[in-house]
Homo-oligomer: A and B are copies of this chain.
Amino acid sequence: MLSKKCKYAIHALVYLAERYQEGPVHIQEIAEKKNIPKKFLEAILLELRKAKILHSKKGKGGGYYLHQKPSEVNLMEIMRLMDGPIAQLPCVSLNYYERCEECRSEKNCGIRDVFLKVRDETLDILGGSTLDKIMKRERSMATK
């Protein structure tokens, strides 16, 4: 399961994607529209800013806005940033690899083999899911 932090981050980013190039948006506004605790959201947006996904402007008329294009931000990177590894086992993780204590040989571990497949499928879907596509999909769904 994703942490709430990650879920909040995704929702906030989609919200900001809808306002792309329309100037800064208040934390307050996002928090209210998406039912996210404001102070918690604050910390999340700060982290996204440090990762160069968002920019912010202080003071009156300030707020947060997307730094990258909605077509350049995908769920894979957001999830890695918020929750860390996407893989189900350390021994199949690309970014957080760790050797497995239980199996003799990694090369012929049938368990690893399964989770390698899961990882690949998952990364494929998440990597292809950009803010852009999520927005468009939402719009086309709404008209049905």
The interface size bin for chain A is: 35 or more
Residues of B within 8 A of A102 (CB): 7-8, 11, 34-36
Encoded as 1 (CB less than 8 Å from any B CB) or 0, chain A from 105 to 144 comes to 0011111011001100110011001000111111001101
- In contact, A88 and B2 (Cβ under 8 angstroms): yes
Docked CA distance A114–B7 (Å): 13
Encoded as 1 (CB less than 8 Å from any B CB) or 0, chain A from 1 to 37 comes to 1100001101100100000000000000000001110
Q: Is the interface of A mostly helix, strand, loop or mixed?
A: helix
A63 interface residue per 8 A CB criterion: no
- In contact, A111 and B141 (Cβ under 8 angstroms): no
Q: How many copies of the chain does the oligomer comprise? A: 2
- In contact, A1 and B121 (Cβ under 8 angstroms): no
* Residue of B75, B89, B107, B118 touching A141 (CB-CB under 8 A): B107
A141-B1 contact, Cβ under 8 Å, with A35-B101, A121-B121:
no
- Chain A residues proximal to chain B, CB less than 8 Å: 1-2, 7-8, 10-11, 14, 34-36, 75, 84-85, 87-90, 101-103, 107-111, 113-114, 117-118, 121-122, 125-126, 129, 133-138, 141-142, 144
